[in-house]
Amino acid sequence: MSSDRYLYPLKFVTIYKEKIWGGTKMKDILGKDFSPLKNCGETWEISGVPGNLSKVSEGVLKGSTLPDLIEEFGTDLVGDKVLEQYGNDFPLLVKFIDAAEDLSIQVHPDDKLAKSRHNSLGKTEMWYIFQADEGAKLISGFSKDTNKEEYVEYLENGKLTELLNEEDVESGDCFFLPAGRVHTIGKGLLLAEIQQSSDVTYRIYDFDRTDDEGNKRELHTQQALDALDYKAYSEYKTGYKRCPNEIVPLVESAYFHTNLLEYSTGIIREYYNQDSFVIYTCFEGEAEIQVLGHTTKIRMGNAVLVPRKFKEVHIRSKSGFKMLETYMP
């Protein structure tokens, strides 16, 4: 390893994605310039997905991709367990999503199915909604227990939505979506998405939309049948109590843990007992992230990856901030 290359809290070049359902909130609210695209449905802030590899945006490691960095720094970057389990593949994908229209009704396969069909990880994910237009809704899960046969019958008769659980949504809502859960993000929502590093989506229904050329998007009706969890659950929205200036747990899953940090000045976070990198995803305010003489600025619309080697992180702010803190279990 070259002596002039060293680790520090890392920011990456944003990857912008134009979508048939995308809007302009990335620019209007988050101040992110997605030109020359007509709209921006997703920004990929930290990605190890092949073909969409994040590159460091500043400092001595500028231009390096995540797999490059894992190969170079190994456990100092990601931790022993992550390196052993995932090798040079980064295990998480961090996005912002702006839905100006409803997304397709869809489902993601679990690890076993995704591995056998696509040689990919499955896709368990979470959403944290930080801006919602009045009346915004989303779909998560079924409204009653069903089965493959009944599901197909409703789908073929154009009545699928009658089986689905619709939720009213407002700013601050959080949803955890294990692989297999049918879902869609409704129009008017701006959110942060933390997910397994996978881009496998089975589109079930797309509201008969067409693109500029009049083509409908591909559906994956058959693939979805074996991926779906047909059970209904009592709660789909994550219950939590807002506690400013305290660590608020949101998600504890086998794939990632995520906390909400809402602080008026700052906090010192200690990770001495943790064998993982940490990602901060900021959706309000700004702060400085300080580790061992290195300072990295974070503001609304940024994500910062703190390597595992840094066991104490000082987050300082004059104006306050809200962000998600994510690490591997």
Annotated active-site positions, please? 203
Helices vs. strands in the chain: H and E counts, helices first: 7, 21
Residues 299 and 297: their CA atoms lie apart, in Å, by: 7
- Cα(118)–Cα(178) distance, integer angstroms: 18
Of the candidates 3, 19, 40, 48, the one whose C-alpha atom is nearest the C-alpha of residue 279 is 48
Residues in a beta bridge with 249: 259
The pairing of strands 278-291 and 303-306 is antiparallel
- Buried-exposed string 86-104: b where 16+ CB fall within 10 A, e elsewhere: bebbbbbbbbbbbbbbbbb
CA distance 102 to 137: 9
By the 8 A CB rule, do 77 and 308 touch?
Answer: yes
